[in-house]
Chains A and B, each alone.
Chain A
Amino acid sequence: MENILLLAHTEADGSLGKAALEALTTALSLGGALTVGLVGATTDAAAGQIASCGAARFLAVTGDAFGEPRYATDGAAAEALCRAVDCQIVIAAGTSRWARALPGVAYRLGGRVDTHATNLALAGGAPAVTRWFYRQRMEAVLSRTQRPWVVLLDPGCVAPWSGAAGTATVEAVSAAPPATRTTVTGYRAPKADEQTIRPDAKMLLVAGAGWTKKQGDGAVHAAEAEQLILGFLRKAQASLGSSKSLVDQSGEGEAVLSCLTHMNQIGQTGSTPRHAKGLSTCCHGEEPHVVGWRFVNQRRAINLDAGCGWARGKADVLYVADAFEVMRHVNAMLESVV
């Protein structure tokens, strides 16, 4: 097996995140000599966190300039680490930070890059990447002859590495922070009580356009729909996904749910979140939505149409019922449980 470099950046608290530990699991599974390359304002805690993982070497690019996620500095750090070692396979977690920076690094190194890998394993003695094409509508296994081969692994595909913390000997790699015109000024997040996207939630609630359509009494009940949805999210600590048709309505002058933005959009042009369970409500039968379901293990749907193509064959259980009515009861029951 070829030599492997695992690139990992630290989180704000100096530790390694779950996605980095998952990438470590994959890197170790390949069996080659492993070097860990760390990037961050400080990296000692991160190195200590995985000291017992069995890596042959720990390298680090450290400094305040490398603490912030930014293309120029992240690219320079990753490039320096790659050039400091003789590794043919470079593995990293598909975090927003690495996804931004590593494709450009692969170009600088004369290598190639594959992103959104869901698996990296040996096939016939050579590494092969499994990834999806056409928005999770077909799955391919591919390999490359060019090296270095940079592979970004999608989070949530393997168990994160766990082991004893310790003390690792970290070799410092020099990388001068490049001149950059970009300053990271902070983050914008929804208020805590309005949070609707929880990547680590066990449950994904999918809201379809039906929530804003006329109900049995001939009227639209968008306000109540929003109340029911947000109530469920709070009680179940669930994450919220939506169809494109629903989030697009704000631009089309139709009734809208103010809790939804394009950030909630899943499916063909949205995200494909990974959750243990998914409950879809008021969605209808279109293939583009189905891709949003791809990585949800247990799926149930509430829909008035028993023949709904979105649910049949894709959900484990289809409840043919009024989602308003069912969710009122669900919320009441969750309230009493809490």
Chain B
Amino acid sequence: MSTPFQIVVCGSFVPDPLQTLEPVTGPAGPSLKNEMMLPAVLDPWAGHALFEAANLARNIPGSKVWLVSLGAKAKLQQVMMTVAQKAPFELVALDGPASGFGDSFETAAALAAAIEGIAGLDRAKLLLFGGWESASRGAGSTMQMVAERLGITEQFQGVDQIAIRDDGSFEVLERVEGGRHQVSVCAAPPALLGWATGNLPEPRNNPQVGMANMRTVMPALQRAKAAAVNNSGLAFASVTLPKQQRQTRIVKDVAAAEIAREIVAWMGEE
């Protein structure tokens, strides 16, 4: 049986995907219109990372999961009410911006500092999890820089699967070009895994897990340290919504064979 892991998941919230987003520019740079009013959810890829971490911890006794989250404290509390029911974890909260326009370099610095501050964390057993990118910034660079700051040079991105072996090594499947997976074996932690979607469905809400988590979530939120992301040296010349509107031609009351003929002809056009 493998030795227990200490799994730290980095992940914050993003606006609910069903919300219409509009950029606004203020003295501090771009942000979303009514950002604090928008309903938020746990970032989808970070969510996959959390669910995979919880699954791993459940299967390897003695393992533990932390969730390190950077975001406005009030919003974090709101999102945690749901997330806490999904999987057991201990929250490490950072009070700061979760904006997509925040710089990944500074975000990584804040997250790495928070991880370094986790009492009793055994770096030799550390698996650092996160999304391979976020649904806000989509940088795909934050986790690599967090890991570098922690001295972790075994890194995997676009991960869909981890399989632990009896000797403590683990096989990792990473997404690569052409719908394929690259297969690697890492002999031992520490390692970074930036998750794509994985293979696990979202867990059902479990009120008992939620109640257990909330005993640590509320104190964690109360002692959340302020984390600045100043975007130093970064300037946005413009932030615009794409021109989405097309003049859609509606074809109805036409026989399926005729529609098929038109589609096949269109496919053949250059």
Interface residues of A (CB under 8 A from B): 69-72, 75, 95-97, 99-101, 103-104, 106-108, 112-116, 123, 128, 132-146, 178, 180-190, 195-199, 203, 236, 248, 250-252, 262-263, 265, 268-270, 277, 279, 286-288, 290, 294, 298-300, 302, 306, 311-322, 325-330, 332-334, 337
Contact = CB atoms under 8 A, between A and B. Distances in A.
Contact of A300 (B187, B254, B266): B266
The 4 nearest A-B residue pairs measured at CB: A251-B201, A197-B179, A329-B260, A103-B141
Contacts, number: 283
Secondary structure at the A interface, as helix, strand, loop or mixed, is mixed
A144 B197 CA distance: 31
A11 B224 CA distance: 46
A104 B140 CA distance: 11
B173 to A, nearest CB: 7
Contacts of A263: 160, 175, 179
Contacts of A189: 178-181
B145 interface: yes
Contacts of A203: 267
Contacts of A143: 234-235, 237
Given A188-B183, A252-B201, A182 B154 contact: yes
Interface stretch (B18-26, B61-69, B75-83, B208-216): B18-26
Contact of A144 (B158, B235, B244): B235
B207 interface: no
B104 A269 contact: no
Contact of A311 (B199, B236, B248): B248
A133 B239 contact: yes
A298 B263 CA distance: 12
A331 B157 CA distance: 38
Secondary structure at the B interface, as helix, strand, loop or mixed, is mixed
Interface string B163-185: 00000000101111111111111
A181 B233 contact: no
Given A185-B184, A189-B179, A330-B260, A107 B154 contact: no
Contacts of A178: 153
Contacts of A199: 177-179
B145 A181 contact: no
B15 interface: yes
A294 B242 contact: yes
Interface in B105-143: 105, 108, 133, 135-142
Contact of B154 (A71, A314, A317): A71
Contacts of A188: 173, 180-181, 183
Given A107-B145, A199-B178, A269 B197 contact: yes
Given A71-B154, A107-B149, A197-B178, A314 B244 contact: yes
Contact of B108 (A107, A286, A294): A107
B145 A104 contact: yes
Contacts of B142: 103
A96 B158 contact: yes
Contact of B183 (A114, A187, A248, A300): A187
B6 interface: no
Interface in B220-270: 233-242, 244-254, 256-257, 259-264, 266-267
